[in-house]
A = this chain, B = another copy of it.
Amino acid sequence: MEINKDTKILIVGLGLIGGTYAQALSDQGYEVGAVARRKETIDFALDKGWIRHGRWEVDEDYIGDFDLVVFALYPHIFLEWIRDHQHCLKSGALLTDVTGVKRSVVYAVQDMLRDDLEFIGAHPMAGREKSGVEYAEKEVFYDANYIVTPTEKNTPEAVAACEQLGRLLGFRTIARLSPEEHDEMVGFLSQLTHLIAVALMVCKDSTQLVRYTGDSFRDLTRIAKVNDVMWTELFLLNKDELLRQTDIFMEKMSQLRDNLANGDAEAIRAMMRLSRERREYFDK
Chain A residues with CB under 8 Å of chain B are: 125-127, 144-145, 147, 173, 175, 177, 185, 188-190, 192-207, 209-226, 228-229, 231-233, 235-236, 239, 242-243, 245-250, 252-257, 260-261, 263, 265, 268-269, 271-276, 278-282
Contact = CB atoms under 8 A, between A and B. Distances in A.
Contact of A228 (B177, B219, B272): B272
A145 B253 contact: no
B220 A239 contact: no
A190 B212 CA distance: 10
B239 A263 contact: yes
Contacts of A202: 252, 271, 274-275, 278
Contact of A175 (B207, B211, B229, B250): B211
A210 B256 CA distance: 24
Nearest to A205: B278
B197 A185 contact: no
B242 A260 contact: yes
Contact of A190 (B198, B214, B233): B214
Main secondary structure, interface of A, reads: helix
Contacts of A243: 257, 260-261
Contacts of A206: 278-279, 281-282
Contacts of A200: 192-193, 196, 249, 252
Given A249-B203, A257-B250, A269-B228, A217 B190 contact: yes
A228 B173 CA distance: 33
B195 A253 contact: yes
B173 A218 contact: no
A204 B215 CA distance: 25
A231 B190 CA distance: 27
A260 B235 contact: yes
A219 B223 contact: yes
B282 A196 contact: no
A214 B278 contact: no
B249 A212 contact: no
A197 B249 CA distance: 10
A211 B195 CA distance: 22
Given A224-B276, A226-B276, A282 B218 contact: yes
Given A203-B188, A246-B257, A279 B225 contact: yes
A199 to B, nearest CB: 4
